Structure 1
Amino acid sequence: MQSKDLQIDWLRTFVAVVDTGSMTAAARQIARSQSAVSMQLKKLEDSVGRPLLNREPRQLSLTPAGFDLLGHARKLLASHSALVLAMHGGALSGRVTFGVPDDYAEPYLVPVLKSFTTRFGEVEVTLVCEESTALLAKVDRGEIDLAVVTRDAPSRGALLFREALVWGADEQHEVWKRDPLPIAVHELGGRLRTEILAALDVQQREYRVVYNSPNVGGQIAVALSGMAVAVLTRCSLPPSLKMLDGRQGLPELPVVEVVLIRSRDSKGSRAVDAMYEQVMSTLRDPLVIE
């Protein structure tokens, strides 16, 4: 009779495959061979009695059973890590330097920190709030351990969720009716900035950039003052600004991918491991898989 036990290693492998989007990347993350990853997934599916992943060329997606299992697996792995720490290492301590752009800090980082500090109050957390391009460079140099950023290249980082970009303006000033259109562009990286301006060019809409800054607060202030239409992430659009669309003659904006990245120098840090798991369990959209 087939055992119905779900071993921790199998669950860890399953979560790694979902988080990284491929068998190869998961093998690197958990320091196993690709054949071992495939074997552990097969054992897990045999134990569950149903397929967990739809395996398509260059793409994996969760089956209904996989979707049901994923949330339970994350909670079990987090509890297992806490138990190991309690039994073998006492209270977790150390330092984590965490990077996040200011528009993601309040809506997304607050719930992560609330849960993390409740569980690991002895860990010293340093926050670095800068634009995504600067944070990506600092992670590459090992200056910060983890960062939640807008993805700059395919397959970079573990995908957390997708975030819409929107047009925002003060309704009273109706600045979107001006010609040329004054726009305020947040630091969004060269590729995204190019896409936004190209979308206006396709509509043959004359525009001028009147504000550039990595600071979202300043961008919102410019929009509220009636100086410009601002490009903002959906999560940072305040109720005081009107979200604009094609009805105001503006093109649809790109949807960005928000990812968690980690420095190579942080490998082996239990404090960083714990923060990584907390971010993934708190922010990872269970419907998102690469």
Structure 2
Amino acid sequence: MRAILDLDQLRTFVAIAETGSFTKAAEVVFKTQSAVSMQMRRLEERIGRPIFARDGRASRLTGDGERLLAYARRLLRLNDETVSAFDEDELTGRIRLGTPDDYADRFLPEILARFSRSNPRVEVTVLCQPTSMLIECMRSNDLDLAIITYVPEESRLGAEVVRREPLLWVTSARHCVHEETPLPLALGQHTCCWRAQAVEALDAAGRVHRSLYTSWSSMAVGAAVLAGLAVSVLPESALRPGMRVLTEADGFPRLPSCDIAILRSWHQTSPLIDALAEHVTSSLDNLSVALAAE
């Protein structure tokens, strides 16, 4: 008789693969570390192959573990879809989410994947715009939920801060543009709060500078940095390979922290909005764990 795989063990296995350690996975699946270790021993016994290879404190998948991971994700997805098909209380409908593109690359994959697994019959429309434009969309009832860069002046909007991280000076790791005078900058448009904070900090430090590239697009700003054409400011989660963080030792003043908030519709409330807001918050918490691991 063939072995029957345990879905709970597979869910734990996927959590280990995604977090990189048994300890972090235990927090995700709400089990003790010893229970997670026991589950993995039993899973290896069921398939008759080792699925983990120790790599320091991290848990690296073996070749057989990589093969199992693909099957495990498919089985879990099919299980969740089957249960949802018979759940009369399952959420349905359409929800509109807004986010600046600074956050889209790092935040959206986790948010949308988690939300889709839990709510497969919900259609999500995503709009990428700067925070100021997202707020206008909320006023005109064109969005249900927005991830925004929070500034104290917007406290009246009812935004809920869900994440705080450092705002950092960045340059190309392969160039020395940060040593130039005047310092060339690649920043957002004039209403961008990060732009204002960067300019204010440089002025206070007496550092001569000039705005060389201006764009709402984080991809365009990042391209200027990576090409060694300018220095910019980014939150920690938006750092990309090839960028170097500049500190006070490099002559760059410390910047205020970056607060990320969620803004719910002022026009209506719904279980859909609450569910997506919960997934956004959970996903940003998971990002903190991933950044700490890196």
TM bucket (normalised to shorter chain) is: 0.5 to 0.7
In the other structure, the counterpart of 2:271 is 270
Aligned pairs (5 A) from 1:62-211: 89-152=88-151, 153=153, 155=155, 156-187=158-189, 189-211=191-213
Quickly say closer, same or farther: Cα 1:158–1:243, change in 2 above 3 A: same
CA separation in 1, counterparts of 2:162 and 2:174?
36
Shift of 1:272: 2.1
Over aligned residue pairs, what C-alpha RMSD do you find? Answer: 2.6
CA separation in 1, counterparts of 2:95 and 2:190?
25
4+ residue runs over 3 A deviation? 85-90, 187-192
Shift of 1:163: 2.4
Q: Contact 2:91/2:119 (CA < 8 Å) preserved in 1?
A: yes
| Structure 1 range deviating more: 125-134 or 150-159 | 150-159
CA separation in 1, counterparts of 2:187 and 2:282?
32
Q: Contact 1:159/1:284 (CA < 8 Å) preserved in 2?
A: no
Q: Structure 2: which amino acid aligns with 1:254?
A: P
CA separation in 2, counterparts of 1:216 and 1:180?
23
Q: Contact 2:188/2:194 (CA < 8 Å) preserved in 1?
A: no
CA separation in 1, counterparts of 2:171 and 2:283?
31
Shift of 1:190: 4.7
CA separation in 1, counterparts of 2:116 and 2:190?
30
Structure with the bigger RCO (C-alpha within 8 Å, sep 6+) is 1
CA separation in 1, counterparts of 2:224 and 2:277?
35
CA separation in 2, counterparts of 1:251 and 1:98?
35
Q: Which runs of 5+ in 1 are unaligned?
A: 1-70, 73-84
Matched pairs, number: 204
Quickly say closer, same or farther: Cα 1:256–1:133, change in 2 above 3 A: same
Q: Contact 2:194/2:233 (CA < 8 Å) preserved in 1?
A: no
Quickly say closer, same or farther: Cα 1:190–1:169, change in 2 above 3 A: closer
Q: Contact 2:174/2:242 (CA < 8 Å) preserved in 1?
A: no
Quickly say closer, same or farther: Cα 1:215–1:102, change in 2 above 3 A: same
Shift of 1:109: 2.3
Quickly say closer, same or farther: Cα 1:281–1:223, change in 2 above 3 A: closer
- CA displacement, residues 105-151 of structure 1 (integer Å, 9 cap, x when unaligned): 23222222111111111101000011111112111221111011101
CA separation in 1, counterparts of 2:154 and 2:143?
21
- CA displacement, residues 131-179 of structure 1 (integer Å, 9 cap, x when unaligned): 1111121112211110111013353411101122111111332011111
CA separation in 1, counterparts of 2:189 and 2:114?
30
Q: Contact 2:141/2:267 (CA < 8 Å) preserved in 1?
A: yes
Shift of 1:284: 5.1
**Partner SS for 2:267:** helix
Q: Structure 1: which amino acid aligns with 2:237?
A: C
CA separation in 2, counterparts of 1:256 and 1:130?
18
Identical-pair percentage: 32
TM-score by length of 2: 0.63
Quickly say closer, same or farther: Cα 1:187–1:258, change in 2 above 3 A: farther
CA separation in 1, counterparts of 2:268 and 2:215?
30
